[in-house]
Structure 1
Amino acid sequence: MNMAQFLVDEIKQLLQNHLKIMYVIKFCAILLFIVTQSFTAPYKLSNGCGYDSCNLGKSDKLNVHIVAHTHDDVGWLKTVDQYYYGSRGEIVRRGVQYILDSVVQALVENSDRRFIYVEMAFFWRWWNQQSDDMRNTVKQLVNEGRLEFISGGWSMIDEAATHYNSIIDQHSLGAEFLHDTFGECARPKIGWQIDPFGHSREVASLFAQMGFDGLFFGRADYHDLIIRSTERTREMVWQASSNLDRQSWLFTGILPLYYFGPPPFCFDITCRDPPIMDDKSLHDYNVPERVEIFIGEALAQREIYATNHIIMTMGGDFYNQNAHENFKNLDKLIHYVNLQQENGSDVNVFYSTPSCYLYALNKAEKKWSTKTDDFFPYASTPFVYWTGYYTSRPALKRYERYANNILQVTRQLNGFSQSNLRNIIFDLSEAMGLAQHHDAVSGTSKQHVANDYAQRLSDGIDRAVEVINDAYAKLLSKESRTTSIPHQFLCPYSNISACLPIEGQNQFTLTFWNPTIHPVTIYPRVPVTREYLIRDPIGNLVRAEYLPIPDTMKNIPGRMSSAQNQYLLQASLPALGYNTYYFEAKVDTNKIEHKKVTTTINEACILQNEYLRVEFNDRGDLKHIVNLAKNLIVSFTEQGLYWYTSYAHANSTPLSPASGAYIFQPLFPEPLPVSITRHIHCMKTDIVQKASIIFNEWTSQEFSLYRNTSAIEIEWIVGPIPVDDNIGKEIIIRYNTDIKSEKKYYTDANGRQVLERIRDYRPTWHYVPDDPISSNYYPINSRIWIRDQDRQLTILTDRSQGGGSMHDGSIEIMVHRRLLHDDSMGVDEALNETAYDKGLVVSGKHILFFDRPSNSAQLHRIGAQQLFMYPLATYALPNTSSYTNYSDMFRQSWSALSDAMPLNVHLLTFDQLAPKQYLVRVEHYFELNEDEFYSKSVTIDLQTLFKSIGTINEMTELILTANLPLSELHRLDWITKDQESSHIDMFQQYLSNVTIITLNPMQIRTFQVIIA
């Protein structure tokens, strides 16, 4: 986002307004730096890669590490293809292929120069197009440490809307490419998150587990920056998990000004700063003043950092299309600044990299401050909170989750069937890597770019279906049969009760693959145009409910199905395996027994099963939920859908923006109800009891309570959001209760750790509330809860959303946004999504749990994992005359496991790397002291996972990104101000005949497994 110069001026004014008088004198230098800082770095001729090749400067000087770089978004204003090739110049003239061409040539010209590169999605493309000579040249640059890969993910991830499963996958994808192409010299050691809009504690923990020694980023709340600049604590040891202790500690630094250089020293072809003109015979000779300004910038930066090493990042968005011009000026700048040492200057400038800068800090023998909370929410200036993107583009956020589900299932099916089709799965892996970008799943790209992300996911899913079919051809087939397996296909519109290929068919099959290592029971709905007999895997008739599809679903724009009814059935699935259900049409429908269905309209309604009672009045208001087993009750007031009026004006600026893709800026602190009236339709069957609440023609909720479950499913439909009144609207679901939460609420970080939030409070600085709503919004990746001494109300989400607790006892979650103005943060487009010539309609689910706090962890932990790794449904149209004929030909149930696995263990990754080689990640997904039983360490035998494939012959533990044996990892040690060391003894490599492992709370362990 190139709004840097504007914000530089505004930050200057901001700091002046916020500093106390006692800090003014000291802060003059700090102000000068915050306003004009940037980063640039030089370095000496390298004899190899790694820390040993670093120039550590001079101990008696201020050492300025010049870091030449480019920040290349893998989609934002243009698609990833358009950015790579440089097309669509009318949007912006940027072409990544030319950047890489130019940079390599510039590095070859001068052995002092260094450069870092981050986005593997671009570099992988470029590498595949190069000649052998060019590849050898690049390998030499990497081996000499002059071209260094930082972070190494497929993209620079967003940290608010991403799930840890996908974060690990996309970094592993890039790490695998670098390892296979360049070896150990290319292994990233630094996290480089210079552009995301807030930073997650879980991401920092994952980076530490990836073997990173440090993390640098560019954005932090302006309050935070003022204090850290004054106290010289912009660099710290981030203690990123209370569960993993020192294993999760990560040195973290906030860069001087996002990721740009000092404003007067931009030498890219897109810049207007004067070059270094060093011919004294010319009238424009400017070396003295340019050197003086640079030294002033360096001295100002020294005032806010703690050592005699500072970093200047000389780069920006898509810089170095002409790297020769940039490096030539940097060469001169370095030369002439260093000449001033002869005149008493203590500024020493050289080319460097983030890892070399980090290494210099490590050798500085300093004790560092610590941090345990996160960097959310992010405010760039007063009243400007970047919390809207937590929810922006909710359909894309859900589609990304759905695609990840398919990716994990496809890997499992490929591995257990031993199909060895990993190369085909790559397309979906690559699309998922792009989707994690901080302008992709975040929802902050232009519309045509968001469409491109979705198209790539769709194309990857289509390729994955090829693998799914190949796997089922092996797993479904009975050994004595050679009959071809019916083609399996997905029904991606099942979420709107539509599956066109099965409509009117005489028979079809529905196969569910359960990707978890625990048996699960689900309640799927199958839209149909006729009635069927349904048989389970052993041939018994399934007593399914035959129910009408709600009008709210049938009226969604673009729904082409003629199905008016749907079957609701209970399906119990084996762990890590599948069950197939056979649907066979019957001509004589009188023989089909339908269960009794009772319905009421606009009457008081009570839903009740063995565990819960849910009470509504005749207006459709949720009044009470009772936990029958625990004798607990929670009362509700004004539960339902509301909307905030979006702040909007014609002259939006970064200092005073409209509500937009990034920014949530409500005009008023209280939301309005979407309707002052509502209607309730209550329906009860043996399997489910439902209360459908219709607010108006564009908003509804449906509460479902299934038998034998302790959760309430809440399905919401929102849209098309009306904007005929020229008012942008941000839709929330609010759960108001009588729980005495005392300002506290709890949200997860990327689907793993849970952090305590306190309304109008920040752990790091004294916070004076300016915007009472958006300042209290946090990312919700999978769950949010409130509690008091006896009761806890937990809401699970099916995608990343924003939300918080604006009042005691209240939870609100933003589910959809439709805005009419741009927020001036760079995308230059209003977030006004449409489909079928109407505003976009979005449907989704919340899962509600109500229990004692001591019993809630197992509910929300297990519930969130099962919601995230939901069984994948595939349909087929078998050419069989009857169920008997089908069952004679095909296996209808199968599981990879013979022994039950502990409920606090999750299979995160099961990926076949080669015919006898597998990558396996297992995790303990409970936190310390979270549950009396499930928070204990647990021991499992990995051989259990391979019982259907073979015997484990060899097993090597790897770091999280699977690009280094854990026994070979040696991270830098840091000392905190509390005299604590970050040093830990790493786990030793396991012997080849040991398959039993122990998992501690929140621990992920990664193994390369070779079977006999």
Structure 2
Amino acid sequence: MTIHVAMFCAVVLLVGTQSFAAPFKPYTSCGYDFCNLGNPDKLNVHIVAHTHDDVGWLKTIDQYYYGSRSEIRHRGVQYIIDSVIQALLENPDRRYIYVEMAFFWRWWNQQSDDMHNTVRQLVNEGRLEFISGGWSMHDEGATHYNSIIDQHSLGAEFLRDQFGDCARPKIGWQIDPFGHSREVASLFAQMGFDGLFFGRADYQDIAKRNMTKTMEMIWKGSVNLNRQGWLFTGILPHGYDAPDSFCFDILCTDAPIMDDARLYDYNVPERVQAFINVAHNEAISYTTNHIIMTFGSDFHDQNANEKFKNLDKLIKYVNAQQENGSNVNVFYSTPSCYLYALNKANKQWTSKTDDFFPYATHSHGFWTGYFTSRATFKGYERYSNNILQVTRQLNAFSQSNRRNTIFYLSEAMGVAQHHDAISGTERQHVANDYVQRLSYGIDRTVDVINDAYNKLLLKEGQTLPVARQFLCSLSNISECLPIEGQDRFTLTLWNPTIHPVTIHPHVPVTREYLIRDPMGNLVSAEYLPISDMTKTIPGRISTAQNQYIFKALLPALGYNTYYFEARTDEQGNVHKQVTMTQNEMCILQNEHLRVEFDDQGNLQQIINLEKNLTLPFTSQGFYWYSSFPSNSSEGFQASGAYMFRPWNSHAQPVSSQRIINCTKTKIVQSAFIVFNEWATQQITLYPEALFVEIEWTLGPIPIDDGIGKEIIIRYDTNINSASKYYTDANGREVLERIRDYRPTWNYSSDEPISGNYYPINSRIWIRDNQSQLTVLTDRSEGGGSMHDGSIEIMLHRRILYTDGISLNEPLNETAYSKGLVVRGRHHLFVEPPTNSARMHRIGAQQLFMYPLTTYSLPDTSSYTNYSMSYRQTWSALSDTMPLNVHLLTFDQLSSEEYLVRLEHYFELNEDEIYSQPVTIDLQVLFVTMGTIVNMQELILSANLPLSDLHRLEWITNNGESSYVDMSKQGSLQETMITLHPMQIRTFQITIN
């Protein structure tokens, strides 16, 4: 492991000086100008040569890059790129596309200047084209829009800096993700893409589209952004592989083109006729005289000469048949050139307004398990993103200009978005590698955090060193070893949102302390025992038995520091009144909410006191599905990392009895419910809170009975939801779901549970005319509503069989020789439907952009000495900001240049006040840094001025045009900007 980390460090250090170079001078003509549009009187077959290189899956990213661990698979990406470049140079007609910048960046950093110039020439001539251009081919079911934007921006910046405008991707290429999100289509449109192609869609959906010639469409990706969110979308004809019997690669066994008639096995006539038949059969499902054929697959082209040599022959001999009356015209092309040909065909296209979830390959094969698989990794990825955003902000506000150090975490996050990473569908050693990379990136950001706090904390005129800040990443299991036994320490909370927030930190301690706020006042805090469940989590080595809980009101886009000083004997050990009961009725109540439990630990009802709204619960707790075993046929499809298939449709409760411990103080009220030795939940209500927090802990899941188990939490109410429920798309817009229904085909299913599961990236709700129950999640999970009034969410999975999708390893996660323990949070809102959007929009943003806690051990003898030298509170803002505006990105590019993204995160018509357009002064955000002297608006991926964007125009079969006049977009009046619902605007600003 140590050698592996050192190797990774060396590779990343290389990019610190190379990845963010000055932009390469653009070529004068490129892109669509180089496209072959074929023959208008022929069936034009666009040959797209490609490779699909997973950024980790069965092997780690670097094992795949170098080609090591051949006993797993003999795959080496460095050889693929070497081979492709050489093959392209041998014939100027050849074309190739490449997608995954995580690999290409590694390869590029190892090349000579001569090779750099050679590749740039290939790019400028359109012979090598970068498609999508993200750091990885991101997943769509388990990702958050913040990280999707970041990873695409990282790849786009690399391409712009090294190759110029000719390398700007214009096409999305999501050929392998397991279902497709409408929000991704919208984001791609905002990145300036002209189209999107993918290889997977539900088998029933594909069957209908093939019959109705609707494999290509206009995807209306946003109900809020209208045409700015439209994207031409095509489903590829045979996944992303070559047509049957035409796979020309060392990994395939298909016959080559044997064209010397003097030799045995001459096969040109039959191979040519077979190809012509394939072309005609494919054309049946498409509407123009242009069709696309992919030639490539996973890690193809380690010997690209084999592919290109055979394709050269195939093109030659197929086209020669035109003299004999064939109408097939075949040539090398790219997805962008194919798209351009479709655009020039002047057709009208059907449209789509829903999404492509859930994805099924057969009647028992729903790919809905990965929505939850590897729940701890999904949670850690969110935590890592939180640190990344905070570090960027701290680096920018302190003007430390340490972007190259932050790159370590940016790069690791880009890798983590891969569709076999955050999805949880990788092998265990690969999952470990993803986490290790994030951990290393986090360790490096701590240097940046300290550099920033060294400037922000120290008062003017003071010269004392600032104590080093550190993270306690195991605080979620009440462990922070560096502060144990200390006489004094500080806790600093950075709020990354542009609005003040109130949180309640939990600080594990081994002794009692006095706590002082930034004004020097003693903080009212509760000193409460840590639960036995927490203390027995495998791997926890802390000796802390108790924790402090207190209220912290944090300034917008700033920090507070709290000073902990050990109590002396003279100060005594006086505790505030704490009421604790066991197995009695328990009522939690603040001024907004009342939560009632019976003496058996059953949640009875939640009452919204302000709205006089009572929501009864018929049940609430943990249940489990038995994973379907075996995997011998479609009828015996097993549950696995990708697929979820329960043995039956009835989930069993994890226990028949519960123990409830009720704790009430002035600062926190909670019901700790023990279901069994491996399943607990702590339901908490804080003063002034508008939501109920549920912290759930699950594991080790027992498997002694030989049965895999998939654990859900269920919230059963009397809401008359009429088969409808609502889930978010990647943390942004919300889509209506209807049980046992698909909007675009007559749906039938043999799987009533998994067929109704959808991704939940941040929220799910059910409602009727009176009530809405909304559940916010702290990570991506899967779930749905299996009957009216019910929400179920899958939290944890431990499975003993594989689902037969090449992983060949069951999802049986362990730690410290025991089954893995997972802990997470849900926030519950009970509101009238008309008021719910305000609650869940603001609540989800605050949960996602949670304040970051750092600690330090100051070398001061008392609080008085500390307060004389250090600034204990600070905010970047001098004025309040509208509640419907979010600072999505603040990243320092150079000493005076900054990247800023602002978003309006409400949808149209969901709130009377906050769904309105809002105008703000950007200068207000940066008043502490100086004056904005220049602003330029960019597209979402930040690699092109918005005014320079000219997307292709498409017409729907209703006569609607996708055209958007960009001359009217992005107009700036000094630093005032207006945001419309769901709009993200991206700026590069200069601050003097």
Q: TM-score, normalised by structure 2?
A: 0.97
Structure 1: gaps (5+ residues): 1-45
2:56 counterpart residue number: 75
* Aligned 8 A contact 1:381 1:655 in 2: no
Question: Could you give the per-residue CA deviations for residues 826-854 of structure 1, whole angstroms, max 9, x where no partner exists?
Answer: 21110000000000000000000001000
Is 1:212 the counterpart of 2:193? The answer is yes
* Aligned 8 A contact 1:531 1:589 in 2: no
User: Following the alignment from structure 1 to structure 2, what is the Cα–Cα distance between the partners of residues 657 and 583?
Assistant: 56
**Superposition deviation, residue 413 in structure 1:** 0.2
1:14 counterpart residue number: none
2:947 counterpart residue number: 967
Choose the corresponding residue for 1:468, options 432, 440, 449: 449
Aligned pair in 2 of structure 1 residues 253, 394: CA closer, same or farther (>3 Å)?
same
Counting matched residue pairs gives 966
User: Following the alignment from structure 1 to structure 2, what is the Cα–Cα distance between the partners of residues 557 and 258?
Assistant: 43
User: Following the alignment from structure 1 to structure 2, what is the Cα–Cα distance between the partners of residues 573 and 988?
Assistant: 39
* Aligned 8 A contact 1:965 1:989 in 2: no
Aligned pair in 2 of structure 1 residues 313, 93: CA closer, same or farther (>3 Å)?
same
1:1001 counterpart residue number: 981
1:8 counterpart residue number: none
* Aligned 8 A contact 2:129 2:167 in 1: yes
Choose the corresponding residue for 1:504, options 485, 495, 501: 485
Choose the corresponding residue for 1:113, options 84, 94, 99: 94
Choose the corresponding residue for 1:252, options 208, 215, 233: 233
1:480 counterpart residue number: 461
Is 1:878 the counterpart of 2:878? The answer is no
Q: Residue type of the partner of 2:673? A: I
Counting only pairs closer than 5 Å after superposition, residues 96-495 of structure 1 correspond to structure 2 as: 96-495=77-476
User: Following the alignment from structure 1 to structure 2, what is the Cα–Cα distance between the partners of residues 127 and 705?
Assistant: 53
* Aligned 8 A contact 1:602 1:620 in 2: yes
Q: Residue type of the partner of 1:584? A: E
Aligned pair in 2 of structure 1 residues 322, 47: CA closer, same or farther (>3 Å)?
farther
Is 1:744 the counterpart of 2:685? The answer is no
Is 1:517 the counterpart of 2:498? The answer is yes
Choose the corresponding residue for 2:708, options 728, 733, 736: 728
User: Following the alignment from structure 1 to structure 2, what is the Cα–Cα distance between the partners of residues 102 and 457?
Assistant: 31
Is 1:812 the counterpart of 2:792? The answer is yes
The range that moved more, 142-151 or 655-664, is: 655-664
User: Following the alignment from structure 1 to structure 2, what is the Cα–Cα distance between the partners of residues 655 and 909?
Assistant: 48
Structure 2: gaps (5+ residues): 1-26
Is 1:707 the counterpart of 2:684? The answer is no
SS in 1 for 2:354: coil
SS in 2 for 1:796: strand
SS in 1 for 2:893: strand
2:17 counterpart residue number: none
**Superposition deviation, residue 482 in structure 1:** 1.3
**Superposition deviation, residue 993 in structure 1:** 6.6
User: Following the alignment from structure 1 to structure 2, what is the Cα–Cα distance between the partners of residues 778 and 993?
Assistant: 43
User: Following the alignment from structure 1 to structure 2, what is the Cα–Cα distance between the partners of residues 90 and 510?
Assistant: 48
The range that moved more, 275-284 or 348-357, is: 275-284
1:660 counterpart residue number: 640
* Aligned 8 A contact 1:384 1:655 in 2: no
Aligned pair in 2 of structure 1 residues 850, 47: CA closer, same or farther (>3 Å)?
closer
**Superposition deviation, residue 167 in structure 1:** 0.2
The range that moved more, 993-1002 or 188-197, is: 993-1002
1:558 counterpart residue number: 539
SS in 1 for 2:858: coil
* Aligned 8 A contact 1:598 1:684 in 2: yes
User: Following the alignment from structure 1 to structure 2, what is the Cα–Cα distance between the partners of residues 887 and 384?
Assistant: 62
Counting only pairs closer than 5 Å after superposition, residues 599-614 of structure 1 correspond to structure 2 as: 599-614=580-595
Choose the corresponding residue for 2:883, options 898, 903, 909: 903
- Percent identity reads 72
Aligned pair in 2 of structure 1 residues 639, 589: CA closer, same or farther (>3 Å)?
farther
1:28 counterpart residue number: none
**Superposition deviation, residue 325 in structure 1:** 1.1
1:20 counterpart residue number: none
* Aligned 8 A contact 1:391 1:814 in 2: yes
1:3 counterpart residue number: none
* Aligned 8 A contact 1:954 1:993 in 2: no
Q: Residue type of the partner of 1:672? A: Q
Counting only pairs closer than 5 Å after superposition, residues 674-693 of structure 1 correspond to structure 2 as: 674-693=654-673
User: Following the alignment from structure 1 to structure 2, what is the Cα–Cα distance between the partners of residues 556 and 88?
Assistant: 34
Aligned pair in 2 of structure 1 residues 725, 131: CA closer, same or farther (>3 Å)?
same
User: Following the alignment from structure 2 to structure 1, what is the Cα–Cα distance between the partners of residues 458 and 343?
Assistant: 59
**Superposition deviation, residue 95 in structure 1:** 0.1
SS in 2 for 1:637: strand
Aligned pair in 2 of structure 1 residues 992, 775: CA closer, same or farther (>3 Å)?
closer
Aligned pair in 2 of structure 1 residues 885, 772: CA closer, same or farther (>3 Å)?
same
2:548 counterpart residue number: 567
* Aligned 8 A contact 2:947 2:970 in 1: no
* Aligned 8 A contact 1:508 1:584 in 2: yes
Aligned pair in 2 of structure 1 residues 653, 121: CA closer, same or farther (>3 Å)?
farther
Q: Residue type of the partner of 1:409? A: V
**Superposition deviation, residue 648 in structure 1:** 0.3
User: Following the alignment from structure 1 to structure 2, what is the Cα–Cα distance between the partners of residues 841 and 709?
Assistant: 28
Choose the corresponding residue for 2:806, options 817, 821, 826: 826
**Superposition deviation, residue 49 in structure 1:** 2.1
* Aligned 8 A contact 2:364 2:637 in 1: no
Choose the corresponding residue for 2:821, options 817, 822, 841: 841
Question: Could you give the per-residue CA deviations for residues 643-689 of structure 1, whole angstroms, max 9, x where no partner exists?
Answer: 0000001x445674210000000001010000001110000000111
User: Following the alignment from structure 1 to structure 2, what is the Cα–Cα distance between the partners of residues 653 and 697?
Assistant: 36
User: Following the alignment from structure 1 to structure 2, what is the Cα–Cα distance between the partners of residues 949 and 987?
Assistant: 31
* Aligned 8 A contact 1:652 1:823 in 2: no
* Aligned 8 A contact 2:946 2:970 in 1: no
Question: Could you give the per-residue CA deviations for residues 607-634 of structure 1, whole angstroms, max 9, x where no partner exists?
Answer: 1110111110010000111111111111
**Superposition deviation, residue 238 in structure 1:** 0.1
Is 1:629 the counterpart of 2:610? The answer is yes
**Superposition deviation, residue 590 in structure 1:** 4.9
**Superposition deviation, residue 575 in structure 1:** 0.2
SS in 1 for 2:560: strand
User: Following the alignment from structure 2 to structure 1, what is the Cα–Cα distance between the partners of residues 805 and 570?
Assistant: 60
Question: Could you give the per-residue CA deviations for residues 969-997 of structure 1, whole angstroms, max 9, x where no partner exists?
Answer: 00000000000000011255767871000
Question: Could you give the per-residue CA deviations for residues 668-713 of structure 1, whole angstroms, max 9, x where no partner exists?
Answer: 1010000001110000000111001100000011100000111000
SS in 2 for 1:962: coil
* Aligned 8 A contact 2:405 2:444 in 1: yes
User: Following the alignment from structure 2 to structure 1, what is the Cα–Cα distance between the partners of residues 521 and 436?
Assistant: 41
1:890 counterpart residue number: 870
Aligned pair in 2 of structure 1 residues 644, 1006: CA closer, same or farther (>3 Å)?
same
Question: Could you give the per-residue CA deviations for residues 771-794 of structure 1, whole angstroms, max 9, x where no partner exists?
Answer: 100000000000000000010000
Is 1:859 the counterpart of 2:834? The answer is no
User: Following the alignment from structure 2 to structure 1, what is the Cα–Cα distance between the partners of residues 634 and 506?
Assistant: 46
User: Following the alignment from structure 1 to structure 2, what is the Cα–Cα distance between the partners of residues 253 and 525?
Assistant: 50
The range that moved more, 232-241 or 993-1002, is: 993-1002
1:778 counterpart residue number: 758
Q: Residue type of the partner of 1:937? A: P
* Aligned 8 A contact 2:480 2:508 in 1: yes
1:792 counterpart residue number: 772
SS in 2 for 1:335: helix
**Superposition deviation, residue 391 in structure 1:** 0.1
